[in-house]
Amino acid sequence: MTTVNNATSTALATANATTQGLASDTENRFLTLLVTQLQNQDPLNPMDNAEVTSQMAQLSMVTGITQLNNTLLALSGQMDVSQSMQAANLIGKDVLVPGTKISVGVDEEGTHVTPFGVDMISEATKVVVTVTDSAGNVVRSIDLGSQPVGVISVDWDGKNDAGTAVAAGAYTFNVKATNASEEAVSADALTYGRVGSVAYTSAGLTMDLGLAGSHSLLSLRKIM
């Protein structure tokens, strides 16, 4: 926290110094222009006080906007730094992000299925998850019943509808959610990944989830 506070103070101090420099340059240019106008004005038609006051007001407004812009830029940069530091705490964590992949492994201890879930955007009276193999064949249908808005985890024991363990490999799933009128409601499939690293790119903060690929931090739906 101390590091973040120090970085904030440094960013704001830099913004203030930059703003003061820009304001000083602007004021010098304005005064030079104003003096030149006064020296070369028509004696029979001199500049009136209202015009000079108007120009001074414009200068004040420009200076204020410049200072505000620089302060906002400094704060925005500091927020990026703070988010990066917080995102680093995700390294090594298991997360759910939008996706449809499921991985099934089999060893002497039994069948292991990677976690997956559903992001319920709207409340539903019936939610059905359908798991398919690499050939597109349905191997298991899981009725989750009614579900409220929110992220839910789905448990699959790695068996097909006949109760037989499926082979190890890659599977996918889709979600169908309906309301009481049997109309489709919004629900997104969520796949599993383990955060290996976090990077700050031109597209923002991204998480490297290994085989699950790279995902924006904004795609994070659940930390397990």
Q: How would you label 36-68 residue by residue, b for 16+ Cβ within 10 Å and e otherwise?
A: eeeeeeeeeeeeeeeeeeeeeeebeeebeeebe
Is residue 207 within 8 A of residue 201, CB to CB? The reply is: no
Q: What is the pLDDT of residue 177?
A: 97
Q: What is the CATH number of domain 93-223?
A: 2.60.40.4070
Q: At what angle do helices 2-39 and 49-87 cross, to 10 degrees?
A: 160
φ, ψ at 186 (rounded to 5°): -75, 130
Categorize the per-residue pLDDT at 10 as very low, low, confident or very high, splitting at 50, 70 and 90.
Answer: low
Can you read off the two tokens belonging to residue 34? 């104003």
Read off the DSSP letter of residue 168.
S
Please name the residues in contact with 43: beta carbons below 8 A apart, sequence gap of 6 or more.
none
The DSSP bridge partners found for residue 214 are: 208
The DSSP bridge partners found for residue 112 are: 105
Read off the DSSP letter of residue 50.
H
Query: Higher confidence at residue 110 or residue 8?
Result: 110
**Interatomic CA distance for residues 206 and 210, integer angstroms:** 12
Write down the pTM of the prediction. Answer: 0.64
Q: What is the pLDDT of residue 75?
A: 53
Please say if the pLDDT value at position 139 is more than 60: yes
Q: What is the pLDDT of residue 4?
A: 38
Can you read off the two tokens belonging to residue 2? 């101390």
Question: Mean of the per-residue pLDDT values for the chain?
Answer: 78
**Interatomic CA distance for residues 80 and 86, integer angstroms:** 10
In tens, the pLDDT along 51-104 reads: 555 655 665 565 666 665 665 665 555 555 566 667 778 899 999 999 999 999
Q: What is the pLDDT of residue 8?
A: 44
In tens, the pLDDT along 157-196 reads: 999 999 999 999 999 999 999 999 999 999 999 999 999 9
Burial of residue 72, with CB atoms counted within 10 A of its CB: 0-12 exposed, 13-18 middle, 19 or more buried: exposed
Question: Of 3-7, 42-46, 131-135, 194-198, which gets the smallest average pLDDT?
Answer: 3-7
Categorize the per-residue pLDDT at 2 as very low, low, confident or very high, splitting at 50, 70 and 90.
Answer: very low
Is residue 132 within 8 A of residue 77, CB to CB? The reply is: no
R_g over Cα of the chain:
30
Alpha carbon 221 to its chain's center:
11
Please name the residues in contact with 209: beta carbons below 8 A apart, sequence gap of 6 or more.
95, 97, 193, 194, 195, 196, 215
